[in-house]
Amino acid sequence: MIRDLLDRFAGMGMRFPSPAELGELAVALALSALALALGILIGRRIGAQVAALWHRIAGEHINGIQPRLCRITRYFTVALLLSPVANGYGWHPPATLLLGIALGLAMALAVIEVLRGLGLPRLATWPMGAIAFTSLLSKTMGGLGVIEALLARIGFDIGTRRLSLLSLLTFLVTVTIIYALVRIANRLLAQWIGRAKGLDPTQQLLGQKLASIAIVTAAFFVGIDLLGIDLTTFAVFSGAFGLAIGFGMQKTVGNLIAGIILLMDRSIKPGDVIVVGDSFGWVNKIGVRAVSVITRDGKEHLIPNENLMTQEVENWSYTDRNVRVRIAVTVAYGCDLDLAQDLMLRAATESPRVLDTPPPNVWLTALGENGAAHDILVWISDPESGVGNVKSDVLNRLWKLFGEHGITVPAPRRDVLLRGGPEPDRR
């Protein structure tokens, strides 16, 4: 029966593996299973230590990679163990195919985990994993050169330059690798600059922005060099295109420069309480294009950096975080004015957010039509918590004190005189 099965395979042009090949296949399967077991063990033990070390180095700036480091360590360990096994011995084709599949899968999963940890979408990570799998499998089987030649033939010529499927894949892989490296470098530098004790928050933010610009610029020129793009061939086109971009992105570049100037002169920095037009709130973040201002209503206003350079801006915490709040109060003329003023000071002093130094004060500002107008002047040190709630608290306390001591607030009164109407009936 076995001979009939072998004859049938031979008649179909297929050859059943020999006993030696079956033995190598079993050994390759056992080595693959051993590499996977060691990868799981190392991923659990060393991966946790690598995650802790990564947290100390990068902090919270790269949250996506840390929970994946155990799996990344596992897959990279499997790939490192299988690479010398697959390429260091002359295996027969069945064993070579098995080792190539195992090696390619391990590297593909490692690439996918790293790219997903950096925040890339699945649409970008899975093709990169497929390219890594195909490349390693082809290299293990000895057919990588054939695949490269085939991909190079699929394409067309534009002038003296050849655009092929191989060049397209090379471009995609290079851009993805550079993007991943730039993302890691930006976040690591942001963490290291943020830990610098000799820099205040504004200087740290400025250093992070300048470092990010330098990294992106360096990555651009490195990518151009790796891809072999000759920029001199685009001199005329790039000049016209750059001129058009310059006009179109004038506002963007202006906002970028304005943001750098704001950080350098420290006129506005994160945490400041500012008023720009109708927007009042505290500065949450100074970005490349705009400043994020969070209002007391929880709304986040994005104000272009250029507006902060050209418009009038009130910075309540520029040199001092203390802010004076003016609360208007009017009392009736028949009241004891000294007692009313003492009650105003008492209400202001008892309010929890009002500072003792400078002390509250009460000014008599006008003897108006309806009563004596006063201003209660109080100081607070946390303007980001709002101003209206301080006024409300002081006025609520004052209302109770006025009621307890018989101080009245005047109500507007109008006398209406009618002329030319019928005489009233006086009977």
According to the model, what pLDDT value does residue 347 have? Answer: 92
The answer to whether the bond into 358 is cis (omega within 30° of 0) is: yes
Supply the pTM of this predicted model.
Answer: 0.53
According to the model, what pLDDT value does residue 175 have? Answer: 83
What is the pLDDT averaged over residues 131-144?
A: 77
According to the model, what pLDDT value does residue 396 have? Answer: 93
Residue (of 46, 69, 74, 70) closest to 58 by Cα position: 69
- The number of CA neighbours under 13 Å toward the Cβ of 382 is 9
According to the model, what pLDDT value does residue 13 have? Answer: 46
| Better-scored residue on pLDDT, 326 or 156 | 326
Instruction: Work out whether strand 300-304 and strand 314-315 pair parallel, antiparallel, or are unpaired.
Output: unpaired
Contact 360, 376 (CB under 8 A): yes
How sure is the predictor about 375, in pLDDT bands with cuts at 50, 70 and 90?
very high
Examine the pLDDT at 119 and tell me if it is beyond 80: no
| Better-scored residue on pLDDT, 29 or 154 | 29
For the stretch 263-292, pLDDT in tens is 777 777 777 888 887 777 888 887 777 888
Give the count of beta carbons closer than 10 Å to the beta carbon of residue 203. Answer: 16
Out of 17-21, 49-53, 219-223, 373-377, least confident range: 17-21
For the stretch 386-397, pLDDT in tens is 788 889 999 999
Tokens describing residue 54 = 């990564």
Residue (of 49, 97, 47, 111) closest to 74 by Cα position: 47
H/E element, 14: none
3-state secondary structure at position 10: helix
- CA 122 vs. chain centroid, Å, equals 19
3-state secondary structure at position 366: strand
According to the model, what pLDDT value does residue 198 have? Answer: 63
According to the model, what pLDDT value does residue 377 have? Answer: 92
For the stretch 11-59, pLDDT in tens is 444 555 667 777 777 888 888 888 888 888 888 888 777 777 776 766 6
Residue (of 390, 265, 393) closest to 322 by Cα position: 390
- 280: which DSSP letter? E
Architecture of domain 323-405: 2-Layer Sandwich (3.30)
Residue (of 374, 377, 383, 339) closest to 360 by Cα position: 377
For the stretch 62-107, pLDDT in tens is 566 777 778 888 888 888 888 888 877 777 777 888 888 888 888 8
% of the chain beyond a pLDDT of 90: 8
CATH 3.30.70.100: which residues of the chain? 323-405
Determine the angle formed by the axes of helices 69-87 and 19-58, rounding to 10 degrees. Answer: 140
Question: Can you tell me the distance from the alpha carbon of 353 to that of 361, in angstroms, rounded to the nearest whole number?
Answer: 15
